[in-house]
């Protein structure tokens, strides 16, 4: 046999028979289906996506209003976004187009610049030559694709959630918050000691605003969300969020109220705009800047600028601060509280600082969830400000918190969690990235969410404190004056993680259980709460979701099932009729018995082996309460001097 140099036979002995591919000549059929109607792969892809149906019939048959054409509507929408993104120091700025620069642009109508500074005939800046692509109110599926394609650290978990990383910051940065002081805010807002409002001037705000806008326009594309705050239709606020990351866009999609297609068409001009340039730092040569992070609020311009932090919670809590200004102006009380409603329409509020249990306890399988964190109390009742929940995930378990567990599915943003690299199963116990791991999901992911998220006037006002000292009773019934005293005090132990730099629980006082978010003096909110509770006959409760049997380190956290039983007894009304006795020092009324809860834990002294240590710790905490309240002793709370005196007397006595 002859072989060439490669060892391949050149003259096969018996050549293989020809393969018969055609029975009746011509085309090969792999199956019996009809062939696709495409000549090229691009054509095939174009068959895959069909255009979203227009929401408004183009002939404008809706009512008596003359509807504008689809083209005109899109043009107006782009013009509004262009106005948001315009540089305020240059006559020309990036042109705005809709759609992904990588894909097919949806609409390329160039937008004439909205403000009429004379444009030079020759562009003086390269920024005026470029386009900013706008990804406007994308769907969760589109945002998933954007995140996974372009943002490192984005993955789909085994249950379909989008795992993301928030970067260097995994909690809020309250010390980097700045509020513009001007003629009106100088008198209206709470400034100085204890206040969260650290001043900046209008000029510096504009410097940071320009920095953020220039950064955003330098990108290939930005995300724009137009959404609502507040389920009370009469007091709904239109917000626009401009951000650089799909993660931020999906987070706000979940956390704010999602407009219907019709509502989006008629959105118009936003009432408030956030510029989130979180990847880009602020400039420390800028006046008032003390770090490379700055969260700047300008109430007159109705704008917020975020520089130097990608923690998404800044956006939601930033808007909450805005509501703490806008709502009291309308005699509506804004509340840092969870809220749920029983089958009989009994509403409960859950006040508390981060990690005290607002989300966990308001998410109750036997009750309707109105919201987990931010509410309004108006003359019509309560309304949720948000359209989603933001739950802590550390040590999350299916058994203890089934509704939150099940909400972590497609569409949910999971921040800073650790997962198996292969199965993508999340390990909720892993704190490698942070303790403050979070899930943000639309409220309708909770099966018994009350949509629309509104309810009647509250019957119970539950103040949650996570007492790291372990001396506050698991539950006590409060008089109105005591409720006000504890509301203004806002005591808890900050649990690690949510605020930057806190690693261990320590005692904190945060007025109105949310000093980081209030804009006016705490007594303004307290007076409104007192008036509303009195008028609607609500009962106040203090619930310790923290330690028992000793302080942090020696005792243990009160078991969640016990706290749930306590809350059940409040809701059902049975606790109102229990037998009570008063505690020493704090003068709290504690029940002797609650169904499902061991009676001996109801008085904290019983749970401490070392009674002397208990007494010392009790007095120590009482001292901290007294000292904290000193700042408020010179303020009158509401119109009633009698109430003010009662409140001052409602604290610990020793
Ligand atoms: N007895 C308890 N009551 C409430 N929460 C508890 C209790 N014990 C442990 N926890 C845990 O504490 C955390 C409370 O956090 P969360 O409900 O998110 O607080 P908030 O919404 O007020 O920030 C959850 O992780 C919850 O599982
Ligand atoms: C988002 C927050 O809310 P909470 O911890 O109260 O759920 C936060 O404080 O950053
Ligand atoms: Ca319309
Ligand atoms: Mn919460």
Nearest ligand 1 atom to alpha carbon 557: 8
**Do 544 and 587 share a domain, yes or no?**
yes
Could you tell me if the CB of 373 is within 6 A of ligand 2? yes
Instruction: Note the pLDDT of residue 119.
Output: 46
Q: How far apart are CA 226 and CA 590, in angstroms?
A: 48
- The SS3 call for residue 47 is helix
Give a yes or no: residue 404 inside a domain: no
Average pLDDT over residues 423-427: 98
Which one is predicted more confidently, 445 or 63?
445
User: Which residues are paired to 556 by β-bridges?
Assistant: 548
Give a yes or no: residue 634 inside a domain: yes
Residues noted as catalytic: 172, 317, 336, 354, 358-359, 373, 438
**Do 256 and 374 share a domain, yes or no?**
no
Instruction: Note the pLDDT of residue 122.
Output: 58
Q: How far apart are CA 410 and CA 260, in angstroms?
A: 20
Average pLDDT of the chain is 90
**Do 85 and 171 share a domain, yes or no?**
yes
Could you tell me if the CB of 273 is within 6 A of ligand 2? no
CATH of residue 274's domain is 3.40.449.10
**Which tokens is 69 given?**
């054409």
Q: Which of 330, 352, 371 is a domain's end point? A: 330
Exposed/middle/buried for residue 400 (C-beta within 10 Å: 0-12, 13-18, 19+): middle
Question: In this model, does residue 93 exceed pLDDT 70?
Answer: no
Pairing between strand 155-156 and 162-164?
antiparallel
Instruction: Note the pLDDT of residue 30.
Output: 63
Question: In this model, does residue 12 exceed pLDDT 50?
Answer: yes
| Domain count along the chain | 2
Nearest ligand 2 atom to alpha carbon 316: 1
Question: In this model, does residue 59 exceed pLDDT 80?
Answer: no
**Do 377 and 321 share a domain, yes or no?**
no
Cα angle vertex 13, ends 12, 16, to 5°? 70
pLDDT class for 95, splitting at 50, 70, 90? Answer: confident
Q: Ligand 2: distance of its center to the CA of 60 in Å?
A: 44
**Which tokens is 166 given?**
């928030």
Residue at token pair 């009482």: 622
Question: In this model, does residue 406 exceed pLDDT 80?
Answer: yes
Of all protein residues, the one whose alpha carbon is nearest to atom 3 of ligand 2 is: 354
Question: In this model, does residue 228 exceed pLDDT 90?
Answer: yes
pLDDT class for 2, splitting at 50, 70, 90? Answer: very low
Summarize pLDDT for 537-586 with one digit per residue, the tens: 999 999 999 999 998 878 899 999 999 999 999 999 999 999 999 999 99
pLDDT class for 31, splitting at 50, 70, 90? Answer: low
pLDDT class for 409, splitting at 50, 70, 90? Answer: very high
Question: In this model, does residue 62 exceed pLDDT 60?
Answer: no
**In this predicted complex, what is the ipTM?**
0.95
Residue at token pair 């009676």: 599
Instruction: Note the pLDDT of residue 564.
Output: 98
Lowest pLDDT segment from 7-21, 31-45, 205-219, 471-485: 7-21
Give a yes or no: residue 69 inside a domain: yes
Of all protein residues, the one whose alpha carbon is nearest to atom 1 of ligand 1 is: 560
**Do 337 and 317 share a domain, yes or no?**
no
Question: In this model, does residue 94 exceed pLDDT 70?
Answer: yes
CATH of residue 501's domain is 3.90.228.20
User: Which residues are paired to 442 by β-bridges?
Assistant: 388
Lowest pLDDT segment from 191-195, 469-473, 568-572: 191-195
**Do 311 and 369 share a domain, yes or no?**
no
- The SS3 call for residue 597 is strand
Instruction: Note the pLDDT of residue 384.
Output: 99
Q: How far apart are CA 364 and CA 23, in angstroms?
A: 67
pLDDT class for 287, splitting at 50, 70, 90? Answer: very high
Question: In this model, does residue 503 exceed pLDDT 70?
Answer: no
**Do 293 and 350 share a domain, yes or no?**
no
Helix residue spans in 330-475 (DSSP H): 358-362, 402-407
**Do 470 and 608 share a domain, yes or no?**
yes
Summarize pLDDT for 377-389 with one digit per residue, the tens: 999 999 999 999 9
Average pLDDT over residues 163-190: 97
Question: In this model, does residue 120 exceed pLDDT 80?
Answer: no
76-82 contacts at long range (C-beta below 8 A, 24 or more positions apart): 77/136, 77/267, 78/107, 78/109, 78/111, 78/134, 79/111, 79/112, 79/114, 80/268, 80/269, 80/270, 81/134, 81/136, 81/224, 82/111, 82/113, 82/114
Give a yes or no: residue 4 inside a domain: no
Summarize pLDDT for 433-452 with one digit per residue, the tens: 999 999 999 999 999 999 99
Give a yes or no: residue 497 inside a domain: yes
Instruction: Note the pLDDT of residue 35.
Output: 80
Tell me the residue length of the chain.
654
**Share of residues in the chain with pLDDT > 90 (%):** 77
Of all protein residues, the one whose alpha carbon is nearest to atom 6 of ligand 2 is: 354
Instruction: Note the pLDDT of residue 28.
Output: 58
Give a yes or no: residue 417 inside a domain: no
pLDDT class for 27, splitting at 50, 70, 90? Answer: low
**Do 285 and 361 share a domain, yes or no?**
no
Q: Ligand 4: distance of its center to the CA of 336 in Å?
A: 9
Give a yes or no: residue 46 inside a domain: no
Could you tell me if the CB of 359 is within 6 A of ligand 2? yes
Q: Ligand 4: distance of its center to the CA of 266 in Å?
A: 32
**Do 248 and 346 share a domain, yes or no?**
no
Lowest pLDDT segment from 120-129, 196-205, 220-229: 120-129
Q: Which of 295, 310, 330 is a domain's end point? A: 330
Summarize pLDDT for 300-343 with one digit per residue, the tens: 999 999 999 999 999 999 999 999 999 999 999 999 999 999 99
**Do 374 and 291 share a domain, yes or no?**
no
Question: In this model, does residue 11 exceed pLDDT 80?
Answer: no
Upstream peptide bond of 452 is cis (omega within 30 degrees of 0): yes
Give a yes or no: residue 268 inside a domain: yes
> Considering the entire predicted model, what is its pTM?
0.91
Give, for ligand 1, the residue of 339, 357, 384, 390 to mutate: max count of ligand atoms closer than 8 Å to Cβ: 357
Q: Which of 291, 306, 330 is a domain's end point? A: 330
Summarize pLDDT for 133-167 with one digit per residue, the tens: 999 999 999 999 999 999 999 999 999 999 999 99
Instruction: Note the pLDDT of residue 3.
Output: 42
**Do 189 and 248 share a domain, yes or no?**
yes
Domain limits for position 132: 65-136+167-330
Alpha carbon distance, N-terminus to C-terminus of the chain? 112
Residue (of 412, 400, 409, 337) closest to 365 by Cα position: 400
Instruction: Note the pLDDT of residue 134.
Output: 96
């Amino acid at each position: 046999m002859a072989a060439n140099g490669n060892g391949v036979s050149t003259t096969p002995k018996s050549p293989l028979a020809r393969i018969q591919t055609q029975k009746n000549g011509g085309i090969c059929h792999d199956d019996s289906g009809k062939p696709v109607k495409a000549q090229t792969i691009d054509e095939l892809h174009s068959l895959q996506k069909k255009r979203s149906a227009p929401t408004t019939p183009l002939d404008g048959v809706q009512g008596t209003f003359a509807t504008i054409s689809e083209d005109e509507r899109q043009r107006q929408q782009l013009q509004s976004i262009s106005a948001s993104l315009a540089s305020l120091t240059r006559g020309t700025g990036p042109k705005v187009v809709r759609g992904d620069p990588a894909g097919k642009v949806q609409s390329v109508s160039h937008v004439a610049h909205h403000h009429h500074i004379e444009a030079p005939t020759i562009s003086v800046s390269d920024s005026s030559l470029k386009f900013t692509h706008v990804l406007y109110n994308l769907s969760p599926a589109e945002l998933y694709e954007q995140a996974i394609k372009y943002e490192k650290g984005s993955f789909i978990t085994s249950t379909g959630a989008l795992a993301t990383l928030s970067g260097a910051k995994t909690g809020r940065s309250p010390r980097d918050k700045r509020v513009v002081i001007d003629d009106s805010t100088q008198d209206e807002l709470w400034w100085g000691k204890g206040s969260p409002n650290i001043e900046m001037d209008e000029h510096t705000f504009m410097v940071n605003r320009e920095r953020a806008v220039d950064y955003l326009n330098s990108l290939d594309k930005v995300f724009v969300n137009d959404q609502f705050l507040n389920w009370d239709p009469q007091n709904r606020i239109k917000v626009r969020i401009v951000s650089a990351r799909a993660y931020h866009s999906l987070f706000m999609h979940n956390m704010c109220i999602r407009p219907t297609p019709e509502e989006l068409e008629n959105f118009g001009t936003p009432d408030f705009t956030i510029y989130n340039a979180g990847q880009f730092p602020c400039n420390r040569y800028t006046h008032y800047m003390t770090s490379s992070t700055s969260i700047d609020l300008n109430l007159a311009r109705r704008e917020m600028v975020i520089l130097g932090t990608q923690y998404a919670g800044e956006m939601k809590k930033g808007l909450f601060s805005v509501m703490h200004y806008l709502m009291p102006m309308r005699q509506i009380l804004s509340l840092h509280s969870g809220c749920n409603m029983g089958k009989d329409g009994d509403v409960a509020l859950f006040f508390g600082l981060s990690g005290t249990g607002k989300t966990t306890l308001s998410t109750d399988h036997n009750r309707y969830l109105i919201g987990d964190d931010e509410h309004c109390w108006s003359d019509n009742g309560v309304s949720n400000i948000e359209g989603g929940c933001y739950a802590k995930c550390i040590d999350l378990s299916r058994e203890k918190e089934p509704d939150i567990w099940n909400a972590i599915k497609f569409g949910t943003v999971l921040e800073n969690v650790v997962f198996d690299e292969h199965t993508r199963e999340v390990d909720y116990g892993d704190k490698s990235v942070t303790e403050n791991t979070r899930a943000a999901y639309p409220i309708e992911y909770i099966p018994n969410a009350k949509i629309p998220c509104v309810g009647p006037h509250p019957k119970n006002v539950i103040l949650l404190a996570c007492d790291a000292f372990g001396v506050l009773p698991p539950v006590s019934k409060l008089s109105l004056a005591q409720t006000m005293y504890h509301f203004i005090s806002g005591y808890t132990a900050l649990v690690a993680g949510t605020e930057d730099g806190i690693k261990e629980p320590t005692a904190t006082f945060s007025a109105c259980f949310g000093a980081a978010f209030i804009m006016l003096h705490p007594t303004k909110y307290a007076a409104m709460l007192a008036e509303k509770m009195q008028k609607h006959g609500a009962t106040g409760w203090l619930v310790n979701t923290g330690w028992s049997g000793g302080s942090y380190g020696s005792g243990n956290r009160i078991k969640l099932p016990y706290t749930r039983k306590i809350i059940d007894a409040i809701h059902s009304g049975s606790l109102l009729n229990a037998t009570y006795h008063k505690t020493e020092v704090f003068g709290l009324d504690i029940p002797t018995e609650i169904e499902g809860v061991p009676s001996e834990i109801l008085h904290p002294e019983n749970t401490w082996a070392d009674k002397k240590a208990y007494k010392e710790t009790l007095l120590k905490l009482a001292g901290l309460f007294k000292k904290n309240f000193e700042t408020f002793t010179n303020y009158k709370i509401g119109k009633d001097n009698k109430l003010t005196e009662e409140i001052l007397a409602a604290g610990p006595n020793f």
